[in-house]
């Protein structure tokens, strides 16, 4: 009799447990719906971020066009823009440079805003690349060491990713706080407005002639900034040819040489820069460095 009662009690307990489990199962959302909702969230988050970035830069551009003096709300907007720019310098240095203010705009800013907005810069600096071992997304940690001891954590893209440490390297880019984003090439072509301001800041190394060939400047000369110096070229074709040749010098893995040779005296017969002589010296640097490794 006792056994029968125990068996009946056990059966009723099992039935009750199955009922509870069934209710729990029915109350759960379908697995496919959960997966779809999660995917939707992942897709919308970047879009919101992109929209927010665009809005921040758009508001700043409209304020600049208005010519109004900075007020409290303007300072709030500028600080929001700084936070976005700091993020871009790290995550997407190319876009940070595209969004950055130009040299002429930065020079025209009120003093109280300059501390919050990225500063365009160009100089010869020690460029350090410290490789990171492992399977992470970061290939190396980079620093640009300026005169006076300032060291900027540096973020790069494109061909500059492959450039190794240099004792002297012409760098162009933007700096904000203790971080910098560098342009891909050694030369940065200036607009007419930028060039007009740059002439009051940087020294020119070519006086009315093409730095590369020594030829007279054409109707549409190019003014480029590199390593804190201004260079002039007869036209865009001359600039592109010279710039590409100098970029190849930076393929040299040695800490000396590379594009910094542009700042040494290599006069060519008939005027211009002796690219062949600079290339030979660059090869010597590479050979000596390889032998000592």
Q: Beta strand 179-182 with 203-204: parallel, antiparallel or unpaired?
A: unpaired
Tens of pLDDT, residue by residue over 62-111, are: 888 877 777 778 889 999 999 999 999 999 999 999 999 999 999 999 99
- β-pair type (140-145, 119-131): antiparallel
State the chain's mean pLDDT as an integer. 84
Both tokens of residue 280? 């030979």
- The segment with the largest mean pLDDT, out of 5-9, 10-14, 195-199, 266-270, is 195-199
Q: What is the DSSP letter of 177?
A: T
CB-CB contact of 124 with 169 (8 Å): yes
State how far the Cα of 262 lies from the Cα of 211, in Å rounded to an integer.
10
Q: What whole-number distance in Å separates Cα of residue 51 and Cα of residue 270?
A: 55
pLDDT tens-digit map of 130-139: 988 766 566 8
Query: What integer is the mean pLDDT of 166-178?
Result: 97
Which among 115, 95, 117, 101 has a CA at the least distance from the CA of 49? 95
d(CA 251, CA 175): 25
pTM, whole model, 2 decimals? Answer: 0.79
DSSP for residue 159: G
Question: Which residues touch 199 (CB under 8 Å, ≥6 apart)?
Answer: 230
CA distance 204 to 220: 18
């Amino acid at each position: 009799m006792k056994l029968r009662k125990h068996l009946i009690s056990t059966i009723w307990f099992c039935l009750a447990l199955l009922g509870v489990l069934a209710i729990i199962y029915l109350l759960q959302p379908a697995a496919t719906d959960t997966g779809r909702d999660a995917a939707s969230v992942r897709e919308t988050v970047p879009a919101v971020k992109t929209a927010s970035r665009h809005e921040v830069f758009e508001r700043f551009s409209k304020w600049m066009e208005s010519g109004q003096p900075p007020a409290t709300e303007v300072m709030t907007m500028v600080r929001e823009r700084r936070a976005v720019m700091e993020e871009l310098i790290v995550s997407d240095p190319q876009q940070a440079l595209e969004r950055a203010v130009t040299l002429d705009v930065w020079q025209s800013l009120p003093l109280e805003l300059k501390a919050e907005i990225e500063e365009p810069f160009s100089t010869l600096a020690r460029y350090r690349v410290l490789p990171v071992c492992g399977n992470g997304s970061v290939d190396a940690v980079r620093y640009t060491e300026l005169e006076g001891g300032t060291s900027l954590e540096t973020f790069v893209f494109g061909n500059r990713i492959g450039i190794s440490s240099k004792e002297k390297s012409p760098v162009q880019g933007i700096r904000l706080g203790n971080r910098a984003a560098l342009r891909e090439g050694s030369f940065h072509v200036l607009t007419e407005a930028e060039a007009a301001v740059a002439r009051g800041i940087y020294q020119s190394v070519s006086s009315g002639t093409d730095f590369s060939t020594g030829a007279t400047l054409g109707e549409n000369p190019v003014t480029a900034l590199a390593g804190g110096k201004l260079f002039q070229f007869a036209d865009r074709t001359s600039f592109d040819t010279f710039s590409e040749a100098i970029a190849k010098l930076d393929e040299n893995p040695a800490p000396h040489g590379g594009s910094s040779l542009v700042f040494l005296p290599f006069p060519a017969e008939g005027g211009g820069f002796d690219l062949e002589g600079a290339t030979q010296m660059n090869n010597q640097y590479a050979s000596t460095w390889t032998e000592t490794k």
